[in-house]
Structure 1
Amino acid sequence: MERKFEILGLCIAWFAVLSQFIIMIQNRQSDILETVVRFFSFFTILTNTLVALFFTASVLKTKKFLPKLLKKDGTITAITAFILIVGLVYQLVLRSIWEPKGLQYIVDELLHTIIPLYMLGYWYFNVTKRDINPKAIFIWLLYPLIYVVFIMVRGSFANYYPYPFLNVSEIGFKKAISNTAVILTLSLILLITLLFLGKIVIKVRRE
């Protein structure tokens, strides 16, 4: 049963990411290379790709570097926390500022609603003691931190920011940093919450 959930997760996540890539290429407003860079500038895309790679590694069970990295202690909890961040930020901040239609609507819901909830459900039924190792999990905070640094540095040169709440050109550096601090704090809170919930879930299973 677990393998079926992993295969379904793999299919949903890759379909959503690849479909969004095709849509962005078809509607690009710059050259191909710049469009590809912009595509991978979205935290949503990076994190959903992590989900897709996680399920791929789980299904294939190979011993190459990337699958091994994705099977390390705490990885499932960290990825779950970050994909939930994707969903929460979208629902609270971004959903109201645009109205996708057709395939874009379907892909949008997959990336920001279905996949976050699916990953949370998968985590709930599969979390183990090794997945709630605080040291291993908190190292993953480097992921959003490095992302923000990259976006800010690149944005200062390319004048492109993937999200309005990070757009220094529009809202100023101080406000962008403030928004970043809120998101990083939310990430930390979610990680801590999953740590405590994981302990409870494991304890209930034993009983």
Structure 2
Amino acid sequence: MHKLLRLARLCLALLVLAAIGQQLALHAANNFSFANFFSYFTVLSNLFASLVLLLSACTPAQQERPWLSLLRYLSAVQMAIVGLVFALLLRHLDVGLMQAWINTVLHYLMPIAVVLDWLLAPAPAPLARKALGKALVLPALYLAYSLLRGQQTGWYPYPFLNPANVGGAAGVALYAAGIALGFVLVGGLLLWAAKGRRPAAPA
């Protein structure tokens, strides 16, 4: 069972890397900005998830260290938000050059798979409550980066981050607050759910 799980993690990691590589090649062929490509939260979160999956695939479950458990938790929270935000705010938008299979992998398959991996193979030891706060650090840094870069370049990775699309800075703040609340709720739920599914300690 554990070997199958590790194999599944490896396959998922390679699949998402192939999807991102193909999408990057499409961008390069059309002279799109590499900086813009790597400014999408979806791309960054999927790359992070692939790294965590690779690390997990190389680590037997009984040898999982707290730092790896934390990375798995952070990845699960981020990918859950990727899936939810896409489904609620972005799925009706034109995804441009993104091929259908790439869109499916990045926005549907990976969010579901990473969350299930966290829930069905919970950390050997419970994470502290401060893990939820850590789950908010990277999204906060990403938001600051996106807004600062957007002010300088006029390009925003998502429509709800562009003040011109949402009625100014107040509209951006409203969307940001809503997504931040989503991070807190999802992060808290995943933390609580994993505690209830921890493997029993050996006798």
Range of TM-score over shorter length = 0.7 to 0.9
Indicate the SS of the match to 1:41: coil
Of 65, 77, 83, the match for 1:81: 77
- The answer to whether the 8 Å contact 1:41/1:162 transfers is yes
Give the CA deviation at 1:3: 1.7
Q: Where does the alignment leave 5 or more consecutive residues of structure 1 unmatched? A: 30-34, 62-67
122-131 or 178-187, larger mean C-alpha shift = 122-131
The CA distance in 1 between the partners of 2:68 and 2:118, in whole Å, is 14
Q: Deviations over 1:160-207 (max 9, x none)?
A: 0010011123321110111011111101100000011112222xx439
Q: Which among 115, 118, 122 is matched to residue 123 of structure 1?
A: 118
Structure 2 Cα separation of the partners of residues 7 and 72 of structure 1: 15
* Cross-structure match for 1:148: 143
Structure 1 residue 137 displacement after superposition: 3.8
- Give, in angstroms, the shift of residue 37 of structure 1: 0.8
Alignment counterpart, residue 191 of structure 1, candidates 178, 187, 194: 187
What does residue 200 of structure 2 align with? 206
The separation in 2 between residues aligned to 1:25 and 1:69, in whole angstroms, is 38
TM-score, normalized by length of structure 2? 0.86
Identify which range, 46-55 or 14-23, moves more after superposition.
14-23
Q: 2:172 aligns with which of 176, 184, 198?
A: 176
Aligned residues: 193
Is contact 2:76-2:118 (8 Å) kept? yes
TM-score (norm 1): 0.84
Hey, what's the Cα distance between the residues in 2 that align with 1:99 and 1:82?
20
Question: How many Å apart are 1:23 and its aligned residue?
Answer: 1.9
Query: Within 5 A, what are the aligned runs for 1:103-142?
Result: 104-130=99-125, 132-142=127-137
Query: Is the 1:75–1:137 contact (alpha carbons within 8 Å) kept by the matching residues of 2?
Result: no
Q: Which structure dedicates a bigger proportion of its chain to helix?
A: 1
2:81 and 2:182 in contact (8 A); partners too: yes
Specify the code of the residue in structure 2 equivalent to 1:109. Answer: T
Which among 14, 17, 20 is matched to residue 17 of structure 1?
20
Is structure 2 residue 15 aligned with structure 1 residue 4? no
Task: Judge conservation of contact 2:126–2:195 (CA < 8 Å) in 1.
Answer: no
More displaced 10-residue stretch of structure 1: 169-178 or 43-52: 169-178
Q: Which moved more, 1:139-148 or 1:4-13?
A: 4-13
User: Percent identity among equivalent residues?
Assistant: 24
User: Helix, strand or coil for the counterpart of 1:206?
Assistant: coil
Give per-residue Cα distances to partners, 1:94-120, cap 9 Å, x unaligned: 11122668x711101100000111111
Match of 1:164 in 2: 159
